[in-house]
């Protein structure tokens, strides 16, 4: 029997990932705080079928610290030409989009994630389901948007890097995050992850490990020690040199184990269609618990229970849904309906 996500995907088989398209010539710009914020904006832009103008943000320290509540840095405010659609995300980007909307009411202002302040000033706000705020200009989906399109995953599967192609199946991708506001990789978590990794290899799996910028050095060292005796060619712990193998590892994985400190990373794993197992490090939050509960209910993931499990599930991806909502509401905006009056 298919999981709920697979049944929903089957019902929509053949639909274009982008959904409704924008009018030809629509100018889209991205204003993002961090790389992770920029990535979700880029995913939406790709689903809309446009090549965005990425506008880097460089507020001075005082203005960056005051975000999202403070003003935009007057030396770094958005400059003409103003876009038709502005996609923004991240705490630091809030003052920029607020300033842009005030100076260019004709720009359709989209904020991805909860800006926490001035919500009524924006034309559309995307929120993940586990956030509590709702409003007339809100669009809510289970997963975060991302740039891992089916076409990109298929291309990566068709032409994996030689090191991955040589790894015998079954292959497991281990996606490591790091300490965050809500999660902490305690010594017990590092020991557990090292034991899990060694156990997977001992059980006959090939293991592909990709850390993030936040991954503790101590965890990586524990993994190196635990996997030192692995058979040749069965483990790849990316050391940060060369191209990031994150996408090829996801595409080639028969199963995925991802740490729960990043909802974006969990959502990207769910886009592959491989069974996704989630390891929860120390700490946690009510929001993450709600998110994981919903993902488990959809059949797209399971909490790590000590062993890999097998189940069938279609790729789960909310990016097209977000892009379709933007395209529809932008059409209404251009027609004069649903126009937001900045305050």
Q: In order of start, what are the domains of the chain with their CATH numbers?
A: 12-146+319-334 (3.40.50), 150-303 (3.40.50.2000)
Contact yes or no for 41/85 (Cβ under 8 A):
no
Question: What pLDDT band is residue 3 in, cutting at 50, 70 and 90?
Answer: low
Give the span between the Cα atoms of 140 and 189, in whole angstroms. Answer: 32
Helix 286-297 vs helix 263-270: angle between axes, to the nearest 10 degrees? 10
Question: Mean pLDDT over residues 74-93, rounded?
Answer: 97
Region class of 80: left (phi > 0), else alpha (psi between -120 and 50), else beta: beta
pLDDT of residue 337 exceeding 70, the answer is: no
In tens, the pLDDT along 266-323 reads 999 999 999 999 999 999 999 999 999 999 999 999 999 999 999 988 899 999 999 9
Instruction: Dump the DSSP string for 25-92.
Output: T--EEEEESSHHHHHHHHHHHHHHT---EE------HHHHHHTTTSPPPTTS---SSPPSEEEEESTT
pLDDT at 14: 35
pLDDT per position as a tens digit, 40-53: 999 999 999 999 99
At 23 the pLDDT is 94
pLDDT at 13: 36
User: Worst-scoring range by mean pLDDT, 12-21, 34-43, 190-199, 231-240?
Assistant: 12-21
Tell me if the bond preceding 68 is cis, omega within 30° of 0: yes
Which residue carries 């809030």 as its tokens? 94
- What is the reported pLDDT for 179? 96
Q: Is the pTM of this model over 0.75?
A: yes
Task: Give residue 168's Cα distance to chain centre.
Answer: 28
Percent pLDDT > 70 in the chain is 92
Average of per-residue pLDDT values in the chain: 92
pLDDT exceeding 90 applies to what percent of the chain?
A: 89
125-151 pLDDT, tens digit each: 999 999 999 999 999 999 999 999 999
């Amino acid at each position: 029997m298919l999981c709920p996500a697979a049944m929903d995907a089957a019902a929509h088989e053949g639909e274009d990932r982008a959904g409704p398209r924008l009018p030809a010539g629509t100018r889209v710009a991205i204003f993002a705080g961090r790389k992770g914020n920029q990535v979700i904006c880029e995913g939406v832009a790709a689903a809309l079928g446009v090549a965005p103008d990425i506008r880097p943000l460089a507020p001075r320290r005082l203005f960056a610290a005051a975000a999202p509540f403070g003003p935009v840095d007057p030396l770094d405010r958005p400059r003409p030409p103003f876009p038709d659609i502005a996609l923004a995300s991240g705490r630091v980007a809030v003052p920029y989009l607020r300033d842009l909307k005030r100076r260019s009411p004709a720009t359709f202002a989209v904020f991805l994630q909860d800006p926490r302040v001035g919500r009524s000033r924006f034309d559309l706000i995307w929120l993940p389901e586990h956030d509590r705020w709702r409003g007339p200009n809100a669009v809510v989906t289970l997963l975060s948007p991302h740039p891992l399109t089916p076409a990109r995953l298929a291309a990566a599967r068709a032409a994996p890097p030689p090191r991955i192609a040589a790894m015998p199946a079954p292959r497991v991708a281990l996606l490591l995050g790091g300490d965050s506001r809500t999660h902490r990789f305690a010594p017990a978590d590092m020991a557990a992850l090292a034991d899990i990794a060694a156990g997977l290899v001992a059980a006959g799996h090939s293991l592909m490990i990709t850390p993030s910028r936040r991954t503790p050095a101590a965890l990586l060292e524990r993994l190196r020690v635990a996997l030192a005796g692995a058979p040749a060619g069965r483990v790849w712990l990316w050391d940060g040199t060369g191209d990031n193998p994150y996408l090829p590892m996801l595409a080639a994985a028969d199963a995925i184990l991802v740490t729960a400190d990043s909802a974006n990373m969990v959502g990207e794993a769910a886009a592959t269609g491989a069974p996704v197992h989630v390891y929860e490090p120390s700490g946690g939050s009510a929001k993450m618990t709600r998110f994981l509960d919903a993902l488990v209910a959809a059949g797209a993931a399971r909490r790590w229970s000590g062993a890999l499990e097998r189940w069938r599930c279609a790729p789960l991806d909310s990016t097209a849904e977000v892009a379709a909502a933007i395209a529809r509401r932008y059409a209404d905006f251009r027609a004069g309906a649903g126009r937001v009056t900045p305050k």
